[in-house]
Amino acid sequence: MSGGGPGARVLRVLTGCTAVGKTEWALRWAEANGAEIVSCDSLLFYRGLDLGTAKPSRADRARVPHHLVDILEPGDPMNVARYSGLALRAVEDIAARGRPALVVGGSGFYLKSFFSAVADRWAAPPEIRARVAGLLGSGGLAAVRAELVRLNPQGLGTLDVKNPRRVTRALERCLASGRTIAELAADFARLPGQFADWRIEIVRLDRPKPEMDARIEARTRAMLESGLVGEVRGLLAAGLRQNPSAAGAIGYREVIAVLEGRLREAELAGAIAANTRALVKKQRTWFRTQLPPHRLLHAGEPAGESELFPAIAQFDR
């Protein structure tokens, strides 16, 4: 639980790893409580990305209204600032109609926008962006990283130093602000999030590893048997490559590798399952270290939808 005092509006968040079973839990609870679902999945925005995302079906969406699903073409980009604005409008619209909102998804970058600020004031001016781009072009990521290290003698914290976009963005912000990564992080942590006046109740679903592995294998088989390869062919024709985030998502990137001859079709299912298991491991780490206090629920245990958001007294960090 975070934010808000007595009488504050309540926003409920249901999260958990890929393939844990969030969709059916969310549908049951939303139906029982007259709620509407706000998606927090980085791929459900896109029309046509259906099989590889295990997108809620049309029948599911007929059961419960869904927001922020199928709002973009495959080649259109999404970022956290844009998402947070759309999510705020959706939640406030639902509340204005007197209905509960249930945020559902496991995309940490977008999920974080519900309980922390998403943007700060240090937008790099064009000349700094050009300077950093020139350094990247002439010396590669190593040169950008070296300059960032020079400006941050105390270290780079948790920055993913192998990610060019994040490293260049960090250098731009340091140059624009004249501050270190640690100082910028401290400043950012003090900024209020857009849901600061809401009481946020979070439930995370999980299952034991053997159970998750079996579900991942079954989900992978179902995607392929339902026609994932054909879906990707159509998406490529619709501009999927223009959106590196979507084209690089698990399921889609492996099929693209098969279509381009970089992966044998016989290896496709194994590659998707292995990469999904690796993603689940990363997601669990993120939930443990980044998610605010929340309730942990075993998704495989028999439970009624009324048990999803009881009076929350015990939390897991």
pLDDT score for 127: 94
pLDDT at 315: 34
pTM of the model: 0.82
**Amino acid symbol at 258:** V
| Sheet hosting strand 10-16, strand order edge to edge | 66-67, 36-39, 101-104, 10-16, 199-206, 295-298
Beta-strand pair 36-39/101-104 = parallel
When pLDDT is cut at 50, 70 and 90, the band that residue 187 belongs to is: confident
The secondary structure of the chain in percent helix, strand, coil, rounded to multiples of 5, reads: 50, 10, 40
**Average of per-residue pLDDT across 104-115:** 93
**Over the stretch 23-64, which tens digit does the pLDDT of each residue have?**
999 999 999 999 999 999 999 999 999 999 999 999 999 999
State the average pLDDT over residues 171-186. 92
* N-terminal to C-terminal alpha carbon distance within the chain: 11
pLDDT at 122: 67
SS3 (DSSP) at 210:
helix
**Residue 181, both tokens:** 């990564």
Separation CA 313–CA 172 (nearest Å): 43
Determine contact, residues 214/21, Cβ cutoff 8 Å: no
Give buried/exposed letters for 12-46 (b at 16+ CB in 10 A, else e). bbbbbbbbbbbbebbbbbbeeeebbbbbbbbbbbb
Mean pLDDT, the chain, as a whole number?
90
Q: What is the mean pLDDT of residues 202-225?
A: 97
